[in-house]
Amino acid sequence: MFWKKAPATPGSEAAPHSTPRAGGGDDAALDAVANLLKAFGENAFDTDNVTALETRAECEGWAKKITVGGGRSEDEGGEVKPFKRDFGGVRRYFSAQRSHEREFVGRSLGNLREAVHAFARCLTTTVGEDRAADERVGAQLGKLVGAFQSNDSVAIRCEAEGIVAVVQEVMAKRSESQKRMLGELSQKITDLREELQGVREKAALDPLTQLFNRASLDAHLERVADLAFLLSSSPCILMIDVDHFKKVNDSYGHPVGDEVLRRVADGLVRNFLRREDFVARYGGEEFVVVIPDSSLHNAEQRAERVRQSLSELEIDAGKNTKIKITVSIGLASLSSGDAGISWLARADAALYEAKGSGRNCVRVARETGSAVASIVPPRSLPPGARTRSIPVGR
């Protein structure tokens, strides 16, 4: 239980699943359970019959069900009944989901073990067949040696013909066996490679936006920083934040917020189409673009184009409502002595300066870590426009 039951008075019975009093430890316990559910949803992964997004939405739904309090509901007969928190339903859902995920991971590991076992079986079968064939050849050679000792030319000729026939048969069977074994191994290895590639791609991508995730970004930044000094290139990094994103979630709900993030991700991909450009979701409403070789001036122009492009998006928020967003961008070129983490930190400092300068603008980081103004914000929408520009980050 998440709270202490009040002692029962004589002649009365405690109501099952009673709603706790608001405030104090009860609220803290409910918040803790809700946060656990949200954390579980945010770290969900795709399985064979449910996606990570579906699990996240389900967990958020349960979190709302147990944190909403003190309300009343009507049954089919119109009778008003006190609101009851369905802790049993939460426990059953959580238990069933975890059980399903455990089975899914177990099956995936089982596929890997089966591939290893198949490889071992192929080797064992090949070695066994080779040993049996060698024994046949050895036995026939023994007969040939015995014929030589007898000085019987007919026997020698017969045994020599016999050894030739045995060797030809063994070689033919061995060739067929090896082809069959290689074919089976090749198929197993192909299946395993495809499965591992799928797992690797899922592990490298953010499930909501299908951009590279934070772990992939960290590894990429270090590689780009190391290669830049060897190749004398000048990479740049853009850190992009959706302005006032929390207000979108608060005003329209998380599904609309998720749609905003997906549309921003699509917009970034369309604006950075070169194969060498690297677009990632840093976390929350923040994105990062790594341009491997560009002058700071050109990167600044591209940052302005993407800022302008994203500000023109119209996103459906339901009920015939369209919303528009803006983004703030921090830009930093790789400086001498920069590692991936310090390079990213300078871009982040420039982003914070853009946020502090009124948002919807670009700021360029100096080598010292400070930033200078780059692009002025665009004009606001004219009065009476059908779409509403609402603050949508930090």
344, 361 Cβ separation under 8 angstroms? no
Under 8 Å CB-to-CB from 203, ≥6 apart: which residues? 215
- Rounded CA gap, 184 and 125, in Å? 12
Centre a 10 Å sphere on the Cβ of residue 58 and count the other Cβ atoms it contains.
17
Quick check: 219 and 341 in contact, CB under 8 A? no
304 labelled catalytic: no
d(CA 93, CA 90): 5
Beta strands in the chain (DSSP E): 72-74, 80-82, 236-242, 278-283, 286-291, 315-316, 322-324, 327-333, 362-365, 371-375, 388-389
279 neighbors 272 (Cβ within 8 angstroms): yes
Per the structure block, which two tokens stand in for 128? 């066994």
Q: Which two tokens stand for residue 96?
A: 């069933």
Secondary structure class of 20 (helix, strand, coil): coil
Nearest to 288 by CA among 376, 346, 212, 200: 212
DSSP string, 302-345: HHHHHHHHHHT--EE-STT-EEE--EEEEEEEPPTT--HHHHHH
- Options 285, 286, 300, 304, the catalytic residue: 285
Cite the active site residues: 285
